[in-house]
Amino acid sequence: MNLPPVVSPKDWDAARAALLVKEKELTRARDALAAERRRMPRQAVTKDYRFEGPDGGVSLAELFEGRSQLIVYRFFFEPGVSGWPEGGCRGCSFGADQVGHLAHLNARDTTLAYVSRAPQEDIARYRARMGWEVPWYTLTDGFDVDFGVEEWHGTNAFLKVDEEIFRTYFVDSRGDEALGSTWSYLDITALGRQEIWEDSPEGYPQTQAYAWWNRHDEYDEPSVFEAALKAEAAAQRGARST
């Protein structure tokens, strides 16, 4: 390998500082893109889509599990996929291994679900083998085709307002590869991270950053970060770096 040069700590710090400028530019650009995404027009969902779950048939509305946002990943697991029926798409499986604990998404009123054309018995077996917790449903109609994923994989985001459901975003191909963390998923939703530093349309739900974060098994208890709301704590932290 043709490796970069070995330099002194001072020169290394200088190189790091120069790169950090570009990294911060990228962070700001990513935040601006997420803000633009939150202002995208919405597509009304008018069909009555149906899925099979572990306990029988369910509607698209039921996939929300009582929350206002839903992220649906079309997982390529069906007859014809390499490794069927013992395994699903390797890329989809790689992505599923990256998913963070679902409690953090749920705490932001967001549900993540997978859908595939595999029967439930095959989904249950593969899900148990891989140790995944994401709810996983069987497609029974044209939901995947209607929302941009006739085959392979893709991620759609939906928002439920009262009894109406809207498609708010879609990403596929390499756009899927960075998904998995709580932040990456929230950034593709209509409401975003729902923190007060975000540039969101007026009236969107937002809370103090840090205040809602918690250990994944303690979301039914007051957040240990509630102290972050206090003025003295904010003064100790100083201005938030962007």
167: which 2 tokens? 């498609």
147: which 2 tokens? 């929302």
Structure confidence by residue, pLDDT tens digits, 11-40: 999 999 999 999 999 999 999 999 999 999
For strands 43-44 and 69-74, give the pairing: unpaired
Structure confidence by residue, pLDDT tens digits, 31-76: 999 999 999 999 999 999 999 999 999 999 999 999 999 999 999 9
Q: How confident is the model at residue 237 (pLDDT cuts 50, 70, 90)?
A: very low
Own/partner pairs, 175-179, CB within 8 angstroms, 24+ separation:
176/73, 176/95, 177/95, 179/73, 179/95, 179/98, 179/155
Q: What is the pLDDT of residue 235?
A: 45
76: which 2 tokens? 């390529």
Q: How does the average pLDDT of the chain come out, rounded?
A: 92
Structure confidence by residue, pLDDT tens digits, 198-214: 999 999 999 888 878 88
Q: How confident is the model at residue 242 (pLDDT cuts 50, 70, 90)?
A: very low
CA nearest 209: which of 227, 224, 196? 196
Tell me the DSSP string of the chain. --PPPP--HHHHHHHHHHHHHHHHHHHHHHHHHHHHHTTS--EE--S--EEEETTEEEEHHHHTTT-SEEEEEE---STTSTTTTT---HHHHHHHTT---HHHHHTTTEEEEEEESS-HHHHHHHHHHHT--S-EEEE-SSHHHHTT-SSS-EEEEEEEETTEEEEEEEE-GGGGTTBTBHHHHHTTSSSTT-BTTS---TT---B-TTTT---TT-TTS--TTGGGGSHHHHHHH-SPP-
Q: What is the pLDDT of residue 212?
A: 86
Domain ranges of the chain: 8-37, 43-186, 208-242
pTM of the model as a whole: 0.91
Q: Report yes or no: 87 and 175 within 8 Å, Cβ to Cβ.
A: no
173-211 b/e with 16+ CB inside 10 Å = b?
eeebeebbebebbbbbbbbbbbbeebebeeeeeeeebbb
Q: What is the pLDDT of residue 209?
A: 85
**What is the dotted CATH code of the domain comprising 43-186?**
3.40.30.10
pLDDT > 90: percent of the chain: 85
Structure confidence by residue, pLDDT tens digits, 93-117: 999 999 999 999 999 999 999 999 9
Q: What is the pLDDT of residue 1?
A: 94
Instruction: State how far the Cα of 86 lies from the Cα of 223, in Å rounded to an integer.
Output: 41
